[in-house]
Amino acid sequence: MRQLHHRIHRYSNIYLATAALLADGKYTYGINWSGGLHHAKQSEASGFCYINDCVLAILELLKTYQRVLYIDIDIHHGDGVEEAFYLTDRVMTCSFHKFKDYFPGTGHIDDVGKDSGSYHAVNFPLDEGLDDESFDMIFQPVISKIIENYRPEAILLQGGTDSLSGDRLGCFNLSVKGHGSAAAFLKKFNIPTLFFGGGGYTLRNVPRCWAYETSVVCGV
């Protein structure tokens, strides 16, 4: 138990430190590919996720910023993050995910938030086979409109690689370059952004994708 507590403490330092540096205004971008555990809830683990680092990082950002946008391109719905901020307008969540007969079974297009958070949850349910061209046609106009209307002061992108073609648990058809187009597009807005990891179950895809996206974020 002490070893587990120590591992959790060390792990939490990574994403909290990343978020804190971004909130201090010292950096425009932060990267934590080991993060992105978007299914964990306040009182339970779920879907390989035992601690929701996305939620904790956003809470850190909210100490400085009034409005934070969370974007999720993992093939699974970002249910834990949506649930955490479903009642507030200080965080807008936007998830692009496989829907119908697919874990975790949430993320209906009609789930839009509640109370102060009404219309601050955006869900874009998708069928299998999503490719690069279709993804760009969906992602770019939706995110552009959200940023235009919500005017976030900071962004967190959950970039799970299980939306890549050939993933063992996935059913989308994105290439590494197509997946990385989300990071490239967000850079155009020059808003402080955290880039987190997430799912990914075909080993050769995961490091290639995040290495490529690191190059996109760093501009090298």
**How far does Cα 168 stand from its chain's mean position?**
20
Q: Are 82 and 111 in contact (CB under 8 A)?
A: yes
Which residues pair with residue 35 across a beta bridge?
A: none
Give the tokens for residue 175. 């290439």
Pick from 171, 186, 191: which is nearest to 130 by CA? 171
Measure Cα distances from 6 to 1, 10, 49, 117, 122 in Å.
9, 6, 17, 35, 36
CA 135, 136, 139, 144: dihedral to nearest 10 degrees?
-170
Single out the catalytic residue among 6, 9, 38, 39.
39
Catalytic annotation present for 6: no
197: number of Cβ within 10 Å: 22
Which positions are catalytic? 39
